[in-house]
A and B are shown apart, each in its own frame.
Chain A
Amino acid sequence: MRLSTLIFLGFSVVIVLSLVDSYVNNLLSDKVNQNIVFLTRSEAVIRNSSRLHKSIIEMQSGFRGYLLTDEQEFLQPYFSGLKVIPRLFNEQRALIKESDVQSRKLDSIARLHQEWINYANSLIEAKKESLEESRVSNRYQYLFENKLRKQVGKKINDNIASIFRRFDRLEYQVRENRRDQLLLSIDRTKTFSFIFSMLTVAVGVMSGIYIVLLISRRIKQMVNLAESISKGQFILVKDNKNDELTSLSNSLNIMSTELSKNISELEKRNRELNQFAYVVSHDLKAPIRGIYNVVQWIEEDLGEEISSEMRKYLNIIPQRINRMEDLIHGLLDYARISRDKPVKEVVDVNIMLQGIAEMLVPESFRLNIDKMPVLFTEKIRLEQVFSNLISNAVKYSKGENPAIEIQSEEKLNAFQFKVIDNGIGIDPQYHSKIFEIFQTLREKHDKESTGIGLAIVKRIIEEKQSTIKVESEPGKGTAFIFTWPKD
């Protein structure tokens, strides 16, 4: 699976879970809203119901007061009730139109109320009649006896009050049920929401960790590959995941393979070149040797017949041949450095330097050698380095009081050696040039300098992963400072 797909998938799961969570929360808030609307309406219903009931009771009180006192004033609430109550009924009906039970109760209240109004009206009119005629009318008397005395109005009123009580009780009960349901659903939603949040966090965190681990493991592999390549090991990364990082590891693998191919090609070329240099310098010697022999034969066979001028010419030939041989030797030595791998042995540098000095340093030189270490190393190589540096110090000396000093200093993993002379010195502009092959600062035909010595020294020291540098100024002598590994 591609990494982007994986990341997308992880995010999708998290998003879906969050969506489900908010959907559930949304449902709940819908329910709460519905309930608030319901409660508001229910409160209005109760309020209306009490206003209605109050108006009815006021009507009844007014009616009774009038009958008892004959005062018109008492009828005031009665008449205003006649006006207000139908409106209240209509309002209430609109509020409870969804509940059949309550509507029916309201209807029966309305019916009973109407019944009471008819009864009350007839009595009020009869009362008015009898008041106008200043005597108790027969009709009133009749009504008083048959209706009022028989408590017809009271019965109706009791009935109305009872229905109102039931109406209110039912309304309260419905409200209570609704509240319980709402609390339950809030509780459920809380639990549900909590579980989903946890699940979302868990899935998010886990997929995050998984993807991060996956990517970091893969990247680590590649970092390892790069590290190995830098150490010269051209390994390959195994990757069959087929995602975005695969193309990166494939590129790395291609790079590694290419590098490995190029390096081995380079190593092969280098070997060929070394072989070539060796063969060339080896084969160059044969014709020189021939020339040398032929010159000797001419000298021998002609003997005294050779003119002195001719003899001078003939003498130049061996000189030039010797120089040629020196050059070839230098080339051979240079080529051999990476071709031959000398064995390591215990080397007492004190003894080695004494030997070299005896061979190379004339009596006229003042020679000062520090106490030197004993190493386990390639003796021939160290010898080549010291020989070349010391013979340079001898070659480029000044006429008077020539001196050579050799110092050593122990470092962490290596020894640092200094070969110091008080000779003619080297201009700083040539300091990097002197280590290049065939660079000599003297005239080309100078017999002693081939321009290979320092190139050999540098190559040997570089093969040992060490360093060499020169400190010098014209006329102030030269110091060559190099390091040599301890083992």
Chain B
Amino acid sequence: MEVRNILLVEDDELDVISVKRSLRKLEHSYNLDTAYNGIEALEILQQCKLREKPLPDIILLDLNMPKMNGIEFLKALRQDEKLRDLKVFVMTTSGDEADRKTTEQLGVSGYLIKPLNFNNNDKRTDSLEGFFQFHLRKIIAL
């Protein structure tokens, strides 16, 4: 199976761990880079271009971040000729319809709202890790 390159842009340490643990459980080969805000993510992508390293197959993007938020990052990404075609998945706690619309206009492959409560007795998504596991499986399989 082909190795997936994933760039996770997320400022919450806990979410980063959740994603990592979920990926580990998927038994799927992957390389994970982590950026804690939009600027770090852009820097990583610039380095990829310079060193001719492979660009990520998927960017998992949070929206609420310090320094440069997800939407600003997405705008910058879509303006870069070499980066504009990268696949982006938004994973946010924001239920704001305006955010969803803006990101859709900027072109995203998916928009997931991270749940805040886990009392729905759905084993697949009963914890944040479960939630990531459930969705990452589908995303990576793309």
Contacts and interface: CB of A to CB of B under 8 A. Distances in A.
Interface string B1-31: 0000000000010100110010000000000
A297 B119 CA distance: 18
Contact of B127 (A285, A286, A292): A292
Given A292-B118, A297-B21, A325-B119, A286 B93 contact: yes
A296 B93 contact: no
A437 B91 CA distance: 35
B125 to A, nearest CB: 12
B116 A293 contact: no
A392 to B, nearest CB: 20
A294 interface: yes
A292 B129 CA distance: 11
A293 B117 contact: no
Contacts of A286: 12, 93, 116
A452 to B, nearest CB: 16
Contacts of A285: 116-117
B119 A293 contact: no
A-side interface mostly: helix
A447 interface: no
B90 interface: no
A296 B116 contact: no
B93 A293 contact: no
Given A296-B127, A296-B129, A289 B118 contact: yes
A282 interface: yes
A292 B130 CA distance: 12
Nearest to B14: A290
Contacts of B12: 286
Interface string B78-107: 000000000000000100000000000000
B71 interface: no
A294 to B, nearest CB: 7
Interface size class of chain A, counting residues whose CB lies under 8 Å from the partner chain: 10 to 19
A22 interface: no
Interface string B100-142: 0000000000000000111100000001110000000000000
B123 to A, nearest CB: 13
A285 B17 CA distance: 18
A289 B119 contact: no
A282 B64 CA distance: 14
A282 B116 contact: yes
A76 interface: no
Contacts of A289: 14, 116-118, 128
Interface in A128-178: none
B58 to A, nearest CB: 23
Nearest to B21: A297
A439 to B, nearest CB: 24
B24 to A, nearest CB: 11
Contacts of A329: 117
Nearest to A321: B118
Contacts of B128: 289, 293
| Interface-central residue, B17, B18, B118, by most chain A CB under 10 Å | B118
A154 B17 CA distance: 168
A325 to B, nearest CB: 6
A77 to B, nearest CB: 143
Contacts of B119: 322, 325
Nearest to A295: B127
A329 B120 CA distance: 14
A322 B120 CA distance: 12
A329 B117 CA distance: 10
Contacts of B17: 293, 297
| Interface-central residue, B116, B119, B128, B129, by most chain A CB under 10 Å | B116
Contacts of A322: 119
Contacts of B127: 292-293, 296
Contacts of B93: 286
Nearest to B25: A300
Nearest to A318: B118
Nearest to A301: B21
Contacts of B129: 293, 296-297
Nearest to B18: A293
Nearest to B13: A290
A293 B18 CA distance: 8
Nearest to B95: A282
Contacts of B118: 289, 292
A322 B21 CA distance: 23
B117 to A, nearest CB: 6
Contacts of B117: 285, 289, 325, 329
A-B pairs, top 3 by smallest CB distance, nearest first, are A285-B116, A290-B14, A293-B128
Given A286-B93, A293-B129, 15 more contacts: A282-B116, A285-B116, A286-B12, A286-B116, A289-B14, A289-B116, A289-B128, A293-B14, A293-B18, A293-B128, A294-B14, A296-B129, A297-B21, A325-B119, A329-B117
10 contacts: A285-B116, A286-B116, A289-B117, A289-B118, A290-B14, A293-B18, A294-B14, A296-B129, A297-B17, A325-B117
